Amino acid sequence: MALRLPVSHASWSSAHPITSADKVRSGIIGRRSPSIFFRISTKRRENVEKRVRVALVRSSLETVGGQNLIGQVTEVGKDDFWPIVKSAGDKTVVLDMYTQWCGPCKVMAPKFQELSEKYVDVVFLKLDCNQENKPLAKELGIRVVPTFKILKDNKVVKEVTGAKFDELVAAIEAVRRS
């Protein structure tokens, strides 16, 4: 935050002109404005978050000693959803399609996490249906939130709409058995 003081023209004379050296010393030249720095920082943060998300996805699909890693729900976006589903192979994939403002979505989030800890042979993903992911949400045919899509072999085989935990568990069990 800069302190602004009114300066009258009478206080400046031709004997004291402002030079570029004064501007550099005062920070006027050679510094990025805070808004530009914030935009750059935000962009860098988004790139780092994307790389971290992809690394987490890879780790959730890897096995350790023949066992899947337990208890992971991986946040996905429009760019990494299909590659993750394809890399899951014949594993069951459960996708939670939610929004930040949805009350029932917030109620289902901890239950979805519990399911990921219970079913270690299933890949659990979350997709925030915001503006950025709208094309994927449309492609998957979302009508209400929360919507849970269960995929097997790159195809949607079951869908549960609304915060219906028992129906979701039954659908996961049915797909796992098939």
Annotate 24-40 with b (16+ C-beta within 10 A) or e (fewer).
eeeeeeeeeeeeeeeee
What is the β-pairing status of strands 67-68 and 92-98?
Answer: unpaired
The pair of three-digit structure tokens given for residue 159, joined into one six-digit string: 């869908």
Catalytic-role residue among 57, 97, 105, 160: 105
H or E element in which residue 97 lies: strand 92-98
- The one-letter amino acid code at 92 reads T
For residues 34 and 51, give the distance between their C-alpha atoms in angstroms, rounded to a whole number. 26
Radius of gyration of the chain (CA): 26
For residues 5 and 122, give the distance between their C-alpha atoms in angstroms, rounded to a whole number. 64
For residue 94, list its beta bridge partners: 124, 150
Catalytic-role residue among 69, 102, 109, 169: 102
Answer yes or no: 105 catalytic. yes
Positions marked active-site? 102, 105
